[in-house]
């Protein structure tokens, strides 16, 4: 397959795979696509180790890194050294009590001594994401992607100076135009059905509008889990596809076993767009956590990054407990399509094979 | 183009066009697709006149009729003669006061003497839709479609006895299976981006699941407004497309001028899934009407058919006023793509032309 995107990166398949798991990233790149490591959960030191591992296992194939530099968030004008403290003081006691009460009611044990204040912000802010960018640019990455709107112009310039292409996720044509203005090389147009932070417009409706709005190549994201969906994304005008939820259940994924089983069993109705994770709307597995934040007792969610600061310890407590009904995580509607564990390589090749079959079938319909 | 659907109906193009406007229905069928008249707003007498007109203007081409027989609604066990009275008594005074207050605040004049109790139920119930079915089956229709779930089995049998095929809209694979069980010939799998009553799963995610679940042909609905979207729907495995919002702004459409202008100017973010029209979730143009029902003052919506009974006079009052900020109506996200008035025939031919271009482009990508 050949598009501007395969030419840009020297890859065989215009398949981009977002994953927090280095094994998946390396396996997709080795299979001819492009793995993109989500840096969010890693400290700069950890990210350094992950990228070193990928460098050693990717057989010289290109790969990318995805960071989160939101265009707007609370505390954007605070000095870095006082950022966490000032933000913590902005979280109302009533919200803390709601979270504590929710966990008590479900019998989630408290964390022992290992609350980790260094992780309450993650890479949700410019201040915490920039060190990740610096680490990433010391590695031979081919792509730097930003998950929440246009990256800062100086970060784009820095990447370009190192020969690294820049991508950004857009959920409206207007977002896409802003991204191109700051110099983004590839727009990832992401429909509402996608997992994680997402807008309201569906992939089917969004992609042609973004393709018509910008001159750079567009990747279709949201709802791409099989080869027919890949063919549909390309038919809409995209020059490649950006996938995510698909990789949560592959053999190589380090997804916790409980989560893997829930994804395999889930239908496409088992996700919900919710602010309960980060304060911005993100599609998550629907469960008693997301329902609680929609209930009458809910104090409402806080703006980014306060909501995640409020809930980060709670999510870690839940993750270490066996209270599965509260364990939520980003997941797209496409989890209704993934119902077996396969190797990353098999999934990549399966996409391509089904893509080819879909095109053959289209040819038969028109008699070509 | 040739699929099981074009063979089934003897049509040249697997393009189905839902419209409440007879001119659009006849024009689509004459252009080689299949127009489907939405019967909802018509009394049986009016429907008879509309279908007679179509018979005279469709040049012998096949066309269809769409009715609404919801699988579940309040009052399903009430006798027909007491249905309206008993349902009216179930509407709380607080709800009536909320609607009256909303209209007063926006300066909507009261209806003069022409409140029309015969229309408060429309075709939302089995009792009110059956007479429409009887009228429809007296005409040479090729298709009877049901908009809210599986039609009653005896209606399916009645249609089949007259040689009329039956379609039903599904928003989950489970719905589709139920429809096939009662004998439906074609499943219209409709994504959340569609206008009118709609589910949560996007077209991109839904279509392959429905195609895999049933043996009958599937039409892709939701977000189909141009030829690339049609190609995407077919790539997902559909054997045709079902379109709706696309026809609100064609030359022949009898859409009120104010609504036409708002649709032409709207973006894909200007719709919302709301229960404020009928009590079941339907995608509508987002405005002060839909916002009011989401506000803190809202008494909440009532179940079908009570909500429409509550608001039907209000919607007619708004429609006759110049208070445009309250004028809501069903519309899909695809209204963000429609931005010029064209003839129905031009839209049909444009779909086919762009469909062919999309396939050519896909061929170039794989080097075929």
**Does B15 score more than 90 pLDDT?**
yes
User: Could you read off the pLDDT of B226-242 as tens digits, one per residue?
Assistant: 999 999 999 999 999 99
In Å, how far is A4's CA from the nearest CA of chain B? 10
HSE of B80, CA atoms in CB hemisphere, 13 A: 10
DSSP B80-92: GGGHHHHHHTTS-
pLDDT category at B98 given cuts 50, 70, 90 is very high
Of A205, A334, A362, the CB nearest to B336: A205
- Cα B164 from Cα B162, distance rounded (Å): 5
pLDDT category at B167 given cuts 50, 70, 90 is very high
Instruction: Please give the distance of CA A283 from its chain centroid, rounded to a whole number.
Output: 10
pLDDT category at B120 given cuts 50, 70, 90 is low
Q: What's the residue count for chain A? A: 368
Phi/psi at A35 (5° precision): -75, 145
pLDDT of residue A123: 67
**Does A116 score more than 70 pLDDT?**
no
Tell me the β-bridge partners of A66: A38, A145
- Proportion of chain B above pLDDT 70, given as a percent: 97
**Does B122 score more than 70 pLDDT?**
no
**Environment class of B44 (CB within 10 Å of its CB; exposed 0-12, middle 13-18, buried 19+):** middle
Does A43 lie at the interface with B, CB-CB under 8 angstroms? no
User: Could you read off the pLDDT of A134-167 as tens digits, one per residue?
Assistant: 999 999 999 999 988 889 999 999 999 999 999 9
Tell me the β-bridge partners of B285: B271
Closest CA to A320 of A42, A110, A120, A96: A110
pLDDT of residue B114: 59
Closest CA to B16 of B134, B147, B138, B131: B147
pLDDT category at B126 given cuts 50, 70, 90 is confident
Give the DSSP H or E segment for B271.
Answer: strand B271-274
Is residue B230 a contact partner of residue B256, using CB atoms and an 8 Å limit? no
In Å, how far is B162's CA from the nearest CA of chain A? 29
- Cα B234 from Cα B355, distance rounded (Å): 10
**Does A361 score more than 80 pLDDT?**
yes
Q: Is the dihedral of CA A151, A222, A11, A250 positive or negative?
A: positive
- Cα B97 from Cα B64, distance rounded (Å): 40
Residue B345: helix, strand or coil by DSSP?
A: helix
In Å, how far is A39's CA from the nearest CA of chain B? 27
Contacts of B234 in chain A (CB under 8 A): 362, 365
Rg (CA), chain B: 20
Q: Residue B17: CB partners within 8 Å, gap ≥ 6?
A: B24, B25, B28, B33, B34, B35, B36, B243, B244, B246, B247, B344, B348
Range list for CATH 3.20.20.70 in chain A? 1-73+124-255+342-368
Q: What is the mean pLDDT of residues B35-54?
A: 95
Lowest mean per-residue pLDDT among A151-155, B101-105, B127-131, B357-361: B127-131
HSE of B296, CA atoms in CB hemisphere, 13 A: 1
pLDDT category at B327 given cuts 50, 70, 90 is confident
Residue B329: helix, strand or coil by DSSP?
A: coil
CATH number (1.10.1370.40, 3.30.365.10, 3.20.20.70, 3.40.630.10) of A1-73+124-255+342-368 reads 3.20.20.70
CATH number of B1-73+124-255+338-368: 3.20.20.70
pLDDT category at A305 given cuts 50, 70, 90 is confident
SS3 content of chain A, % helix, strand, coil (to 5): 45, 15, 40
pLDDT category at A21 given cuts 50, 70, 90 is very high
Q: List, as ranges, residues 348-367 from A with C-beta within 8 Å of B.
A: 356, 358-359, 361-363, 365-367
Q: What is the mean pLDDT of residues B74-103?
A: 89
Does A267 lie at the interface with B, CB-CB under 8 angstroms? yes
Q: Residue A277: CB partners within 8 Å, gap ≥ 6?
A: A284, A307, A308, A311, A328, A330
- Proportion of chain A above pLDDT 90, given as a percent: 77
**Does A187 score more than 90 pLDDT?**
yes
Number of A–B residue contacts, CB under 8 Å: 162
Closest-CA residue of chain A to B234: A362
**Does B124 score more than 90 pLDDT?**
no
User: Could you read off the pLDDT of A240-291 as tens digits, one per residue?
Assistant: 999 999 999 999 999 988 889 999 999 999 999 999 999 999 999 999 999 9
HSE of B316, CA atoms in CB hemisphere, 13 A: 16
pLDDT of residue B111: 73
- Cα B304 from Cα B121, distance rounded (Å): 10
For A106-143, letters b (16+ CB in 10 Å) and e give bebeeeeeeeeeebbbbbbbbbbbbbbbebbbebebbb
**Does B221 score more than 90 pLDDT?**
yes
Is residue A19 a contact partner of residue A63, using CB atoms and an 8 Å limit? no
pLDDT category at A124 given cuts 50, 70, 90 is confident
pLDDT category at B70 given cuts 50, 70, 90 is confident
Contacts of B224 in chain A (CB under 8 A): 204
pLDDT of residue B123: 67
Of B206, B332, B336, the CB nearest to A209: B336
Q: What is the mean pLDDT of residues A305-325?
A: 88
- Proportion of chain A above pLDDT 70, given as a percent: 97
pLDDT category at B277 given cuts 50, 70, 90 is very high
Contacts of B268 in chain A (CB under 8 A): 172, 200-201, 205-206, 209
pLDDT of residue B233: 98
Q: List, as ranges, residues 217-236 from B with C-beta within 8 Å of A.
A: 222-226, 228-229, 231-236
Q: List, as ranges, residues 96-135 from A with C-beta within 8 Å of B.
A: none
Closest CA to B141 of B217, B242, B83, B67: B67
Does A244 lie at the interface with B, CB-CB under 8 angstroms? no
């Amino acid at each position: 397959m050949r598009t501007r995107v395969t030419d840009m990166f020297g890859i065989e398949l215009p398949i981009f795979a977002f994953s927090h798991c280095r094994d998946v990233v390396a396996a997709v790149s080795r299979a001819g696509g492009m793995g993109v490591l989500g840096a969010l959960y890693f400290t700069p030191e950890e990210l350094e180790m992950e990228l070193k591992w990928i460098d050693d296992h990717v057989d010289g194939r290109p790969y990318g890194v995805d960071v989160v530099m939101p265009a707007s968030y609370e505390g954007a004008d605070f000095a870095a050294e006082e950022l966490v403290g000032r933000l913590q003081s902005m979280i109302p006691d009533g919200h803390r009590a709601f979270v504590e009460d929710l966990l008590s009611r479900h019998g989630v044990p408290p964390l022992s001594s290992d609350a980790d204040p260094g992780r309450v912000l993650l890479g949700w802010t410019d201040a915490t994401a920039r060190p990740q960018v610096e680490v990433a640019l010391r590695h031979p990455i081919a792509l730097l992607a930003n998950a929440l709107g246009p990256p800062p112009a100086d970060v784009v310039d820095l990447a370009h100076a190192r020969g690294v292409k820049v991508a950004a996720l857009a959920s409206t044509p207007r977002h896409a135009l802003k991204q191109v203005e700051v110099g983004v090389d590839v727009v990832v147009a992401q429909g509402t059905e996608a997992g994680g932070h997402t807008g309201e417009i569906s992939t089917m409706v969004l992609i042609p509008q973004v393709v018509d709005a910008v001159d750079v190549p567009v990747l279709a994201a949201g709802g791409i889990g099989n080869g027919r969906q890949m063919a549909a994304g390309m038919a809409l005008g995209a020059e490649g596809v950006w996938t995510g939820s698909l990789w949560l259940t592959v053999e190589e994924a380090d997804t916790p076993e409980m989560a893997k089983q829930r994804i395999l069993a889930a239908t496409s109705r088992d996700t919900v767009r919710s602010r309960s994770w980060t304060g911005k709307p993100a599609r998550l597995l629907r469960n008693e956590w997301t329902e609680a934040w929609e209930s009458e007792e809910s104090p409402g969610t806080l703006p980014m990054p306060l909501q995640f600061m409020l809930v980060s310890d709670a999510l870690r407590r839940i993750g270490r407990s066996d209270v599965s009904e509260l364990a939520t995580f980003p997941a797209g509607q496409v989890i209704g399509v993934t119902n077996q564990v396969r190797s990353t390589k098999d999934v990549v090749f399966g996409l391509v094979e089904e893509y080819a079959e879909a095109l053959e079938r289209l040819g038969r319909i028109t008699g070509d």
